[in-house]
Amino acid sequence: MIRLILIIFFNSLGFSQTLSVSVNKNKINMGDVITLNIEIKGGNDIGEIDLSGIEKNFEILNGPSEQNNYQWINGKEKKSKTLSWNIAPIRLGRLKIPALSVIVDNRKLKGNSILIQVAKTSQNQTKDVFIFVDLDKESAFLGEQVTLTYKLYKRQDINIVSIDHFVMPDFKGFWYEELYTPQRLQYNSQPVLINGLKYQVANLGQRALFPIVSESHEIPPIKVKIKIEVKNKKRKRDVFFDPFFDSFFSETKTKILTTENEIIKIKTFPIPRPEDFTGAVGDFNINANIDRDKLIVNEGITFKIEMSGTGNIGLFSLPKIIFPDFIEVFKPTESFKKDKFRNQLTGTKIWEYILIPRKSGEITIPQMKMSIFDPKINNWKSISTKPFNLQVLRDSTTTLYNSGLTKKEVELIDKDIRYINTDEYKLNKKGEMNYSFIAVIYVFSGLFIIFPVVFSYLIGYRLSSENDRRISGAFRKNIKILRNKENGNEFEIASYALYSYLKDRLSLATNNLDPNQVRIILQNKVSRSLFDKINDLLVICDEGRFSPVAYEKRNIVIDEMFKILKQIEKELK
């Protein structure tokens, strides 16, 4: 009784929730899909279901799909909710679906754990449907094209209802170009025989891969989900199901198809590697052209380099072209035209340079040479453009008046040269100079110098005598005597200097001068005041020689005489 009451009580409180976890099968092959169902009976507030425990071993393909069930039995409501997921194993072996827990109405419900046995799809077992990565080569050079094709194989009697859109993987270590992407599944008309069984093949997509410098060159596996029709033989005989409607009500089965991980080996380039190799691998032709070969300074010209062929076109740059210094080069514009109808990447790449010569003259656009690697012959190849000669003409309108002036010498910008000289002119023979005038002058100069010598030689008259030299040297000689005080009496020196000076200067014959004679000689030759001074000084000198009275003046007498000699020299001139 008490139990019954308790049950009723619990029921009324809503404590009757249960959780059950189930799968549709527990022994599967790799690539099969199982359905995971979680059924919650009762409960109003159903929380999130944490599926993180599953993701270790399984991939969740889709879900959850929800199914709600309401039942009214005897006025009582019975409610259940089923959530289902499609999951696919990602590993082999015994995989465990851990016990899942859900919070329902603030109660934590825990389900049971399930073991699932995943077997490897045996090799011998012929697969009905599979996908396959088709690589045209297993090893390649850097930059060499590897063509990748995803192919779907199916037995002829299998009907694929739908195929999910699949994402191309990141081709790590490759640069890729799309070659083909199908819009819908389309089988080749010609079936392929594998192990004696006929398969139909469909192309799921094609890419041109070019290995670039990278640590690994790996093509990761892809997964494609398809639905195939299950032919239920039992039903065919069913009374209620007419075979005619078979297709409408056919059952489908989801299948996951995977490819294997593929690794591409990178071959090393043969040595020596040319210096002008910039990474071009393939078979290319190069061509250059200019739009004209004659132009005027500061005009632009288009220099086009066209490279066409098969290979990793667009993946490499041109070697640096060294243009002459005075050509202004603008960054080239690149354009690329892809030829889509071939599964080898083919196309034409065009580099267009705009060149502006800044000087006139003959200009050569140099040859451009580059090395490419041709994987077909497994060796290097050199391709080159031909050089061009450009005729850059002077700009007839601007060069004449201000070419270069604009930049350089601002002050001369507007100025023009001065007009030609049309005055009277006289043309002279080159290198002929009139030296006759100079020669005449030289002869005259010579005559002037020689004449006095010859003259004096002829008539015996010495124009320049020893006397002259003595006259001119008189002053200097006697100053020296005066300065040389050591030898003897100051008074004697002073008077001797004067006598000696006068004798030399005036070319006197006598050797014995005395004050009286000096007076007579100088009377009219010097000024009165000087004459008196000389007179006084001579008296002092005479007295000094004999009387001790004047002796005191010996210190000044030399200086006095010096001044007097200077004065005389001046006045005699």
Partner 1 sequence: MKINIIIICFTSICLSNNANLLMDEGNELMINEKYENAIKIYESILNLEYESAQLYFNLGNAYFRTGQIGNAIWSYVNAQSIEPRNDDVKYNLEIANASIIDRIEMPRLFFIIQTYKTIRDYFTMLEWLSLGSIFLLLHSIYYFMKKLWLSKVFRNGFISLLLLLGMIFSHLFALEHYLIGKRNRNAIVISNAVDAYSGPFFGKNKILFQVNEGSMAEISKIQKNWFEIVLIDGKKGWVEDKHLRLF
- In sequence order, the β-bridge partners of residue 34 are 87
Judged by CB under 8 A, the residue of 323, 326, 388, 551 near partner 1 is: 326
Nearer to partner 1, 260 or 411 (CB): 411
Start-to-end C-alpha separation, the chain: 173
Of 436-465, which residues contact partner 1 (CB under 8 A)?
437-438, 441-442, 444-449, 451-452, 463-464
Q: Examine residue 430 and tell whether it contacts partner 1 (CB under 8 A).
A: yes
Nearer to partner 1, 66 or 325 (CB): 325
Q: Examine residue 360 and tell whether it contacts partner 1 (CB under 8 A).
A: yes
HSE of 525, CA atoms in CB hemisphere, 13 A? 15
Stretch in the footprint of partner 1 (CB under 8 A) among 40-48, 174-182, 300-308, 324-332: 324-332
CB 204 within 8 A of CB 133: no
Nearer to partner 1, 165 or 430 (CB): 430
Of 544-573, which residues contact partner 1 (CB under 8 A)?
573
Distance in angstroms (rounded) separating the CA atoms of residues 142 and 269: 8
Phi, psi of 416 (to 5 degrees): -115, 165
Question: Strand 327-329 and strand 58-73: pairing?
Answer: unpaired
Q: How far is the CB of 386 from partner 1 (least distance, A)?
A: 18
**DSSP per residue, 191-212:** -EEETTEEEEEEEEEEEEEEE-
CB atoms < 10 A from the CB of 403, how many? 16
Distance in angstroms (rounded) separating the CA atoms of residues 539 and 520: 15
Contacts of 409 (CB under 8 A, 6+ apart): none
H or E stretch including 7? helix 2-13
CB 129 within 8 A of CB 153: yes
Question: Residues 136-155: x/- map of binding to partner 1 (CB under 8 A)?
Answer: --------------------
Residue 21's closest CA among 87, 101, 95?
101
Burial 352-370 (b: 16+ CB within 10 A, else e): ebebebeebeebebeebeb
Nearer to partner 1, 22 or 402 (CB): 402
Q: How far is the CB of 359 from partner 1 (least distance, A)?
A: 5
Distance in angstroms (rounded) separating the CA atoms of residues 514 and 565: 16
Q: Examine residue 115 and tell whether it contacts partner 1 (CB under 8 A).
A: no
Q: Examine residue 470 and tell whether it contacts partner 1 (CB under 8 A).
A: no
Q: Examine residue 516 and tell whether it contacts partner 1 (CB under 8 A).
A: no
Q: How many residues bind partner 1 (CB under 8 A)?
A: 55
Three-class SS string for 70-91? EEEECCEEEEEEEEEEEEEECC
Question: What single-letter amino acid sits at 407?
Answer: K
Q: How far is the CB of 497 from partner 1 (least distance, A)?
A: 23
Distance in angstroms (rounded) separating the CA atoms of residues 551 and 539: 12
Of 237-266, which residues contact partner 1 (CB under 8 A)?
none
Nearer to partner 1, 312 or 360 (CB): 360
Nearer to partner 1, 192 or 412 (CB): 412
Of 393-412, which residues contact partner 1 (CB under 8 A)?
394, 396, 399-400, 402-405, 408-409, 412
Q: How far is the CB of 449 from partner 1 (least distance, A)?
A: 5
Nearer to partner 1, 247 or 472 (CB): 472
Q: Examine residue 325 and tell whether it contacts partner 1 (CB under 8 A).
A: yes
Of 410-429, which residues contact partner 1 (CB under 8 A)?
412, 415-423, 425-429
Q: Examine residue 435 and tell whether it contacts partner 1 (CB under 8 A).
A: yes
Nearer to partner 1, 271 or 420 (CB): 420
Positions touching partner 1 (CB under 8 A) are: 324-326, 359-363, 394, 396, 399-400, 402-405, 408-409, 412, 415-423, 425-431, 433-435, 437-438, 441-442, 444-449, 451-452, 463-464, 468, 472, 573
